[in-house]
Chain A
Amino acid sequence: MMPDFISGIWLRPTTSNPIVQWLWVFGWGIRLILIAFLTPQIYSELFIPFIQHWSGGAWFDPWTTFIFEGGDKSAFPYGGLYLIAFGIPTFLGGVFFNDTGAAVGLAFAVLLYDFLLARVIYRIVEKHKSLIAVCYWINPVTLYVCYWHGQLDVFPVLLVVTAILALKNGRYSWSGLLLGLACVAKFSMAIAAPFFLIVFFREKRFRSKAIPFMAGLMLPAAISSPLIFSSGFREMVLGTTETAKLFSIGLPVSDVGNIYIYPLVLASMLLIAWRIGRFSWRSLTGVVGIAFLAIYVTTPASPGWSMWWLPFLVLSLGVHRFFTQATAALLSILVVLQHVFVASGPTLKVWDISSTTRDFDFTRWLDPFIYSATITAVVACGIVLIVQFARINVLNDVYTRATYRPLSVGISGDSGVGKDTLADGLLGLFGATRTVHLSGDDYHMWDRHNPMWRALTHLNPKANYLNLFFRDIHSLLDGRKITKRHYDHSIGRMTRPDVLLPSQFLVVSGLHALLDKEVNSRFDTRVFLDMDEELRRALKTRRDVILRGHPLQNVANSINRREKDGHRYIQPQRANADIIFSLRAKRGDDLRLALKGEGDPNSPIEMVLAIGLLKDANLTDLESLLIGIGCTRIQQLDQNDGEHSWIQVETDISAEAIEVVAYKNMPHLEDLLALKPQWVEGLTGIMQLFILDNLYHRRHLDQQIG
């Protein structure tokens, strides 16, 4: 058993696997040993001289003065943020133990960001958290790049990965700020930025948060913009030779010109990402990882660049099978072999002044053929992983796949049963900005005062432009815009035609929404709303007699006339529904008063809800969860219409409890819903829950995510 102090400080206490725990300890041990005994050459030759120059008094523009004093122009190709992140610990280390102390200070700064990155990875993934974090923690690439070769790329990558965590947790301006900081810290991180922008501008769910995100993103650039005026900064940071590597591999098309590979790859990726348009944080992680891995395999990459893709690789691996995971492990080893014979390594630390420096120079063992073979293998593994990530993490992401065409709910039922209330409930869940609500009322043939209504009721299909209604539903489901009038209930007239654009969700409500076979087959979820006839009469009588002052007899006649049509045209649609909600009054007394046109019209009539679900629907989970949350008055009904099995629910359940049940029953539901979904209390909330459950399973969102 792992001692408490280890699991408590370095891991969450829920971590259970002792092997993983000991691998963590191993990771720590090897890091501390490397730091104690080795100093990467680039520390002592490049970074430390520059940082010492900065801490020696060149506070505001160390780049210009460093060059002026004859320093190496490639010593510190980073901006001010790097100086803060690494300069301060290096300086403090130097105060205590000269150059060796400075190197230790710098290494501890790297260790800090390295550790934080492992923690952020742990926070992001949802399954096998510790195992995935440890894959990063003991990865040879991490150890080689950070502690042997000595690159500092872990810092900007930490910022990008944390930006994804912030996005996942709904902290959008933070996400922008972190990404902005990463880009300012190291310009190459800007490769990730367009993918984030696609998420915020193409995914309607996030669009309202694009401004906070952009504000965060631009802030660091704005603050650090005065550095442009420093000639040294321009020369050392902006003019870094690394940028030129992007254009160093190309297909020669003539004696003078090339087609550059990476820009082409990146442009194609952006185009595809733009076309996909719908991203969850998971698929964003995948696509950013691909972009970084693609740059690595299509350019003569520096060792530090392998840190760019590594965390994304690790984050995306959970959903893959052994083949991909093994390829990733192989790639990690090959990357180290690729660089260790050509790039600079470390020197033995000089703790004792009298000893002489020893360095680890492997270049003498470099064999050109083996080196070429290694690079070829790296590229091969890289391509395999890019293909696998594109397939599994992006194109086959549960959310991306589930939403490839609009999700749709059709709600039918007689007038006055609450179709629009329920449609509003769904709009509140999916978000009004990405949901289209098509109401059957807009397809009535005549304005309210037209004499034809004396001959036909609204329930009669002949009194509605049903062909148009169904055609428009098809159009919206196909992603085409429609032009339609809107029935303005306040004046009883149709408005002028207006354009309605398609969106991710379509909610169709109407008296005849489930009448057409073909339309039905295209709805994901078909809902029929029903109400006990007595209750419907009571509600209508109460409203028309008490509130509107109509004579009781007239109201009764009108109800009777509609009742016949209801049976003829509306009720048959029940058979087409996946879910039937049927409301009835809990107590007869309420009804008797209301039917006489008496009583308080505003006092609520307490109701119970019967829910009919297709026989193959699995109810047990939802039922158990509802009982678990305290909605205990649920019972099976012995009611049989051949198609559906029935339960009855009687509850004043809170909106919060509905939400708890929904998230418990439907993992990753948040992808589907608005950023701030509006849950409703009571029976409407129960209806929200059952519709969502049906929709969720219809689109296979319940598939396992690793």
Chain B
Amino acid sequence: MSIRPTTPNCFLLDLDNTFYHYPPAHEAGMDASTKMAKTILNVSEKEFLQCFKDARSEIHRRLGGTASSHYRLLYFQRTIERLGLGSQLALAFKLEETYWAAFLAEAKIRDEAMDFLDDLRLAGIPAVFVTDLTAEIQFRKLLFWRMDRYIDWVVTSQEAGADKPNARIFELALAKLGGVEGNVWMLGDNEERDILGAKNAVDATTIHFKNTGEQPSPNADFVVNSFSEVRKILRKTGFPKQS
């Protein structure tokens, strides 16, 4: 890693579990919606969570590899149905809203993550969030965290028609930038989806953001566990140049 890395001509960024730590946020979201279900539906926590788990795997089986397979509204709709209560549209919405409110309240953007985005902005390196899940919630997250101030482009798997590691989503990102000549970089936490996905699709230089307890990716060009390290790598490439 002492070799000076190639300068990036564009940066592809994964959002979930890279820019923030996903598990505690998800837990808080599930906790809030389970509590709500408990009071409204009069079901036990265990029963609700079991139905939720089954509902999610059912939807994954049916829609695997597409954005809708991550759609929480569908999970909650199916959970309520599995509890034998029909579709209960208003309640499904309510559970979803509760989930995301608690999720966003809990999720903490990692130290220096926003500074990194600012580095990219200053360096004039075009950056695209390349992210699975539906456009609505991803846009909402980006707005809520005010990342829209730094990043001009977003590609969701809903838009691309397929989840990562499908090449389409990466290609669409580059197409949005009007095609990129030179080095594409990818920052993400998932070995298969982000690292291998970007390598195979667009031959990207990859940074694996390794969360605590995970194995470092053997295929990534760099492995980091903090944004200060990401920034350090960026600096080594000669960026950000101050004009």
B201 at the interface (CB under 8 A from A): no
Which of A6-14, A50-58, A402-410, A470-478 lies at the interface?
A: A6-14
Q: Which residues of A contact B212 (CB under 8 A)?
A: 4, 7-8, 13
CB atoms of A629 and B229 under 8 A apart: no
Q: Which residues of A contact B224 (CB under 8 A)?
A: 1
Which listed residue, B21, B101, B112, B225, touches A657 by the CB 8 Å rule? B101
Q: Which residues of B contact A208 (CB under 8 A)?
A: none
B114 at the interface (CB under 8 A from A): no
Inter-chain CA distance A656–B146, complex, in Å, is: 20
CB atoms of A627 and B140 under 8 A apart: yes
CB atoms of A629 and B228 under 8 A apart: no
Nearest-CB residue, chain A, relative to B113: A16
Q: How does the 8 Å CB contact mask read for A625-662 relative to B, with 1 for contact and 0 for none?
A: 10111101000000000000000000000101101100
**A: interface residue count bin:** 20 to 34
CB atoms of A1 and B223 under 8 A apart: yes
CB atoms of B102 and A656 under 8 A apart: yes
From residue 588 to 641 of chain A, which have CB atoms closer than 8 A to chain B? 621, 624-625, 627-630, 632
Q: Which residues of B contact A664 (CB under 8 A)?
A: 104-105, 144
Inter-chain CA distance A7–B211, complex, in Å, is: 11
Interface centre among A8, A14, A627 (most CB of B within 10 A): A14
Sample 10 A-B pairs with CB under 8 A, ordered by A number. A14-B226, A16-B110, A17-B226, A627-B140, A628-B104, A630-B97, A630-B100, A654-B101, A656-B102, A660-B102
B148 at the interface (CB under 8 A from A): yes
Least Cβ–Cβ distance between A423 and chain B, in angstroms: 26
Inter-chain CA distance A2–B32, complex, in Å, is: 35
Least Cβ–Cβ distance between B195 and chain A, in angstroms: 17
Inter-chain CA distance A16–B228, complex, in Å, is: 6
Inter-chain CA distance A622–B105, complex, in Å, is: 15
CB atoms of A14 and B213 under 8 A apart: no
Least Cβ–Cβ distance between A592 and chain B, in angstroms: 27
CB atoms of B226 and A16 under 8 A apart: yes
Report if A624-B148 is in contact (Cβ < 8 Å); known contacts: A1-B224, A14-B108.
yes
Inter-chain CA distance A15–B225, complex, in Å, is: 9
Which listed residue, B32, B112, B144, touches A16 by the CB 8 Å rule? B112
Contacts A16-B112, A660-B101, A660-B102 known; 16 new A-B pairs at CB < 8 A: A2-B225, A4-B212, A14-B21, A16-B226, A17-B226, A17-B228, A621-B146, A624-B144, A624-B148, A628-B140, A628-B141, A629-B100, A629-B104, A629-B140, A656-B101, A656-B102
CB atoms of B97 and A654 under 8 A apart: yes
Q: How many residues of B contact A (CB 8 A)?
A: 32
CB atoms of A13 and B211 under 8 A apart: yes
Q: Which residues of A contact B227 (CB under 8 A)?
A: 16
CB atoms of B144 and A628 under 8 A apart: yes
CB atoms of A1 and B104 under 8 A apart: no
Least Cβ–Cβ distance between B242 and chain A, in angstroms: 23
B203 at the interface (CB under 8 A from A): no
A663 at the interface (CB under 8 A from B): yes
Q: Which residues of A contact B32 (CB under 8 A)?
A: 656
A18 at the interface (CB under 8 A from B): yes
CB atoms of A8 and B213 under 8 A apart: yes
From residue 184 to 198 of chain B, which have CB atoms closer than 8 A to chain A? none
CB atoms of A663 and B144 under 8 A apart: no
Q: Which residues of B contact A14 (CB under 8 A)?
A: 21, 108, 110-111, 226
Inter-chain CA distance A14–B22, complex, in Å, is: 12
CB atoms of B229 and A18 under 8 A apart: yes
Inter-chain CA distance A656–B148, complex, in Å, is: 24
Nearest-CB residue, chain B, relative to A12: B212
Inter-chain CA distance A657–B99, complex, in Å, is: 10
Q: Which residues of B contact A625 (CB under 8 A)?
A: 143-144
Report if A15-B226 is in contact (Cβ < 8 Å); known contacts: A630-B140, A654-B97.
yes
CB atoms of A13 and B144 under 8 A apart: no
Least Cβ–Cβ distance between A683 and chain B, in angstroms: 16
B98 at the interface (CB under 8 A from A): yes
Least Cβ–Cβ distance between B223 and chain A, in angstroms: 7
From residue 278 to 310 of chain A, which have CB atoms closer than 8 A to chain B? none
From residue 124 to 178 of chain B, which have CB atoms closer than 8 A to chain A? 140-146, 148
Chain B binding surface, main DSSP class: helix
Inter-chain CA distance A16–B97, complex, in Å, is: 32
Inter-chain CA distance A624–B112, complex, in Å, is: 21
From residue 7 to 32 of chain A, which have CB atoms closer than 8 A to chain B? 7-8, 13-18
Which listed residue, B100, B110, B225, touches A1 by the CB 8 Å rule? B225
Least Cβ–Cβ distance between A141 and chain B, in angstroms: 27
CB atoms of A660 and B146 under 8 A apart: no
Q: Which residues of A contact B223 (CB under 8 A)?
A: 1
CB-CB nearest 6 A-B residue pairs: A628-B144, A16-B226, A13-B212, A628-B143, A16-B228, A660-B105
Least Cβ–Cβ distance between A631 and chain B, in angstroms: 10
Report if A660-B225 is in contact (Cβ < 8 Å); known contacts: A16-B110, A16-B112, A624-B148.
no
Least Cβ–Cβ distance between B135 and chain A, in angstroms: 12
Inter-chain CA distance A632–B111, complex, in Å, is: 29
Q: Which residues of A contact B105 (CB under 8 A)?
A: 659-660, 663-664
Inter-chain CA distance A299–B115, complex, in Å, is: 47
From residue 7 to 21 of chain B, which have CB atoms closer than 8 A to chain A? 21
Q: Which residues of A contact B112 (CB under 8 A)?
A: 16
CB atoms of B21 and A13 under 8 A apart: yes
Nearest-CB residue, chain A, relative to B111: A16
Q: How does the 8 Å CB contact mask read for B217-243 relative to A, with 1 for contact and 0 for none?
A: 000000111111100000000000000
Nearest-CB residue, chain B, relative to A656: B101
Q: Which residues of B contact A659 (CB under 8 A)?
A: 105
Inter-chain CA distance A663–B104, complex, in Å, is: 11
Least Cβ–Cβ distance between B138 and chain A, in angstroms: 11
Q: Which residues of B contact A663 (CB under 8 A)?
A: 105
Inter-chain CA distance A627–B211, complex, in Å, is: 29
Report if A629-B101 is in contact (Cβ < 8 Å); known contacts: A1-B229, A16-B110.
yes
Least Cβ–Cβ distance between A365 and chain B, in angstroms: 43
Q: Which residues of B contact A8 (CB under 8 A)?
A: 212-213
Least Cβ–Cβ distance between B171 and chain A, in angstroms: 28
CB atoms of B97 and A657 under 8 A apart: yes
Q: Which residues of B contact A632 (CB under 8 A)?
A: 140
Q: Which residues of B contact A630 (CB under 8 A)?
A: 97, 100-101, 140
Inter-chain CA distance A656–B143, complex, in Å, is: 18
Q: How does the 8 Å CB contact mask read for A154-166 relative to B, with 1 for contact and 0 for none?
A: 0000000000000
Q: Which residues of B contact A16 (CB under 8 A)?
A: 110-112, 226-229
Least Cβ–Cβ distance between A613 and chain B, in angstroms: 19
Q: Which residues of A contact B140 (CB under 8 A)?
A: 627-630, 632
Q: Which residues of B contact A17 (CB under 8 A)?
A: 226, 228
Least Cβ–Cβ distance between A17 and chain B, in angstroms: 6
Q: Which residues of B contact A13 (CB under 8 A)?
A: 21, 211-212, 225
Q: Which residues of A contact B146 (CB under 8 A)?
A: 621, 624
Least Cβ–Cβ distance between B100 and chain A, in angstroms: 6
Nearest-CB residue, chain A, relative to B137: A630
CB atoms of A624 and B110 under 8 A apart: no
Nearest-CB residue, chain A, relative to B112: A16
Nearest-CB residue, chain A, relative to B108: A14
Least Cβ–Cβ distance between A132 and chain B, in angstroms: 13
Least Cβ–Cβ distance between B233 and chain A, in angstroms: 12
Nearest-CB residue, chain B, relative to A654: B97
Q: Which residues of B contact A18 (CB under 8 A)?
A: 226, 228-229
Least Cβ–Cβ distance between B238 and chain A, in angstroms: 21
Q: Which residues of A contact B101 (CB under 8 A)?
A: 629-630, 654, 656-657, 660
Inter-chain CA distance A13–B32, complex, in Å, is: 24
Nearest-CB residue, chain A, relative to B1: A1
Least Cβ–Cβ distance between A246 and chain B, in angstroms: 43
Least Cβ–Cβ distance between B144 and chain A, in angstroms: 3
Inter-chain CA distance A632–B140, complex, in Å, is: 9
